[in-house]
Amino acid sequence: MAKQVYLETTVVSYLTARSSRDLVRAARQQITREWWETRRGDFGLYVSQIVADEAADGDPEAAALRLKELVGIPRLVISEEATELARELIIQHALPQDALEDALHIALASVHGMDFLLTWNCSHIANAEMMESIRSAVESAGYKCPTICTPEEMLGDLS
């Protein structure tokens, strides 16, 4: 059975964005496109309504491109359990108070038993300094924390 991956909004944003002149953004865009083309078929992909809502924000043309890539990807249900776990992540200071949506991404992936949470959000989600607190809060609530990583970490051996 294929491993399950929750795609956080930044992944589809980098996938569909116009090429950036900023070197870091351009590299992330290229890595995301490479992962999408070479690896996404190896996994069961999931998103949530939060991802769809975030993808729909902003420039209508860019939003349409993001939403097009989400077509056919199953959406995880935002359950009371996920909402409560997101609150716990904030209460236990695993994430800052103003990062409730980021906490909800982590909670959804955890409650639904995802193997991976794929993101470019290195401020609050794929943040090495916060990882132990996130994992501890998730596990103390009785869930297994997914492996939180960037598309670069999931490219595999392409040699």
Assigned fold of 4-153: Rossmann fold (3.40.50)
Pair 81, 109: CB distance under 8 Å: no
Residue 1: what pLDDT?
A: 80
Burial class for 158, CB neighbours closer than 10 Å (0-12, 13-18, 19+): exposed
CA 154 to chain centre: 13
Buried b (16+ CB within 10 A) or exposed e, 31-55: bbeebbeebbeebebbbbebbbebb
pLDDT of residue 22: 85
Residue 108 structure tokens: 């959804």
Q: Where are the domains of the chain?
A: 4-153
Q: What pLDDT shows up at residue 158?
A: 58
Largest CA distance in the chain: 44
Chain segment 21-55, per-residue pLDDT in tens: 989 999 999 999 999 999 999 999 999 999 999 99
| Predicted model pTM | 0.94
Tell me, rounded to whole angstroms, the distance of Cα 45 from its chain centroid.
11
Ranges of the chain with pLDDT below 70: 157-159
